[in-house]
Amino acid sequence: MSRIATLSTLALLAQSSIAGLIPRADQNFGKCTNPTIAYVEDQDGMAGFGYKPANLKDFPHGASADIVAITDYICSNLQNVCRAPAASYELCKTASTTAKGLKEKAAADAFNAAITTTPPSPSSAAPPVATPSLVTPKYSIHFSKEQVNFPGTIDPKWWFDQYFLDDGGDPARCKSGSHKMPEGRLLSFSCSGADRRIIPFMKIALNAAVTATIDNTTMKDEERFFKHWNNDFKDDEGEPFSVAVTTFPASVEIDVAIDIPNVGSAWSGSMKYSITEPTSNGCKMCSYLSTAGTTTSAGVKIAEVISETKDVLAKLVAPGAALGMAIVTLGCLTNCS
Ligand X SMILES: *[C@@H]1O[C@H](CO)[C@@H](O)[C@H](O)[C@H]1NC(C)=O
* Interface positions with ligand X (CB under 6 A): 216, 218-219, 297, 301
Sign of the torsion formed by the C-alpha atoms of 226, 228, 232 and 235: positive
As measured in angstroms, the least distance from the Cβ of 220 to ligand X is 7
Select the residue whose beta carbon is closest to ligand X and give its number.
297
As measured in angstroms, the least distance from the Cβ of 223 to ligand X is 7
Q: Using the minimum distance from each CB to ligand X, give the nearer residue, 178 or 216.
A: 216
Q: Using the minimum distance from each CB to ligand X, give the nearer residue, 28 or 297.
A: 297
As measured in angstroms, the least distance from the Cβ of 300 to ligand X is 8
Q: Using the minimum distance from each CB to ligand X, give the nearer residue, 196 or 310.
A: 310
At 247, the amino acid letter reads T
As measured in angstroms, the least distance from the Cβ of 206 to ligand X is 17
Is 35 within 8 Å of 92 (Cβ atoms)? yes
- Rounded Cα gap, residues 222 and 282, in angstroms: 8
Q: Using the minimum distance from each CB to ligand X, give the nearer residue, 124 or 218.
A: 218
Q: Using the minimum distance from each CB to ligand X, give the nearer residue, 96 or 207.
A: 207
Phi (first) and psi of residue 223, to 5 degrees: -100, 0
Q: Using the minimum distance from each CB to ligand X, give the nearer residue, 90 or 222.
A: 222
Q: Using the minimum distance from each CB to ligand X, give the nearer residue, 94 or 216.
A: 216
As measured in angstroms, the least distance from the Cβ of 246 to ligand X is 18
Residue 59 to residues 21, 55, 225: CA-CA distances in angstroms?
A: 15, 6, 62
As measured in angstroms, the least distance from the Cβ of 156 to ligand X is 16
Q: Using the minimum distance from each CB to ligand X, give the nearer residue, 173 or 301.
A: 301
- Rounded Cα gap, residues 249 and 26, in angstroms: 49
As measured in angstroms, the least distance from the Cβ of 304 to ligand X is 8
Nearest to 64 by CA among 79, 84, 45, 78: 45
As measured in angstroms, the least distance from the Cβ of 211 to ligand X is 8
Nearest to 95 by CA among 49, 60, 51: 51
Q: Using the minimum distance from each CB to ligand X, give the nearer residue, 99 or 326.
A: 326
Sign of the torsion formed by the C-alpha atoms of 81, 84, 90 and 93: negative
As measured in angstroms, the least distance from the Cβ of 237 to ligand X is 37
